[in-house]
Amino acid sequence: MKSISAFTLLVKDYDEAIAYYTKTLGFVLVDDTKIDDKKRWVMIAPSKCSTTKILLARAANNDQEKFVGNQSGGRVLLFLEINEFDEDYANFKKRGVDFQEAPRHEEYGTVVVFKDIYGNKWDLIQMRHKGYGEL
């Protein structure tokens, strides 16, 4: 079996990113270890049982800073799958999540695009068929 255990998301500031992803989106902080005076190992996940984690990496130079918030060239970068669309959508709206459209119903499920604190686009999605897209 192969799986993606983690991926990197460039951020401007560790503490600002941790606060947004844990308080606004409700993610869990998995690890926050100081490596040196400038670098930390910060891992978050959508929930305690998530198998895929996100490494929040503070942009270390001007070249990396250019990509904070635009790591996918303006396309949706991340897909946050949920089980209770109406409830989660309402809770996210209350917490100030920046939705870019009204929810829509597609063949594969119910979805709405939002931007995170840095401008990365996410799909908040409830799949209609659990097997859709499985290999």
Question: What fold, for 70-135?
Answer: 2,3-Dihydroxybiphenyl 1,2-Dioxygenase; domain 1 (3.10.180)
For residue 133, what pLDDT is reported? Answer: 54
Query: What is the spatial distance between Cα 101 and Cα 107, in angstroms, rounded to a whole number?
Result: 18
Q: Is 66 in a helix, a strand, or coil?
A: coil
Per residue in 35-91, pLDDT (tens digit) is 999 999 999 999 999 999 999 999 999 999 999 999 999 999 999 999 999 999 999
For residue 18, what pLDDT is reported? Answer: 98
Asked whether the whole model's pTM tops 0.85, one would answer yes
pLDDT band per the 50, 70, 90 thresholds, residue 135: very low
**1.20.1250.20, 3.30.43.10, 3.20.20.120, 3.10.180.10: which CATH number matches 1-68?**
3.10.180.10
Structure tokens at 5: 């255990």
Structure tokens at 75: 């396309």
Fold agreement (1-68, 70-135): yes
| 117, 17 Cβ separation under 8 angstroms | yes
Domain map of the chain by residue range? 1-68, 70-135
Beta bridge partners of 10: 57
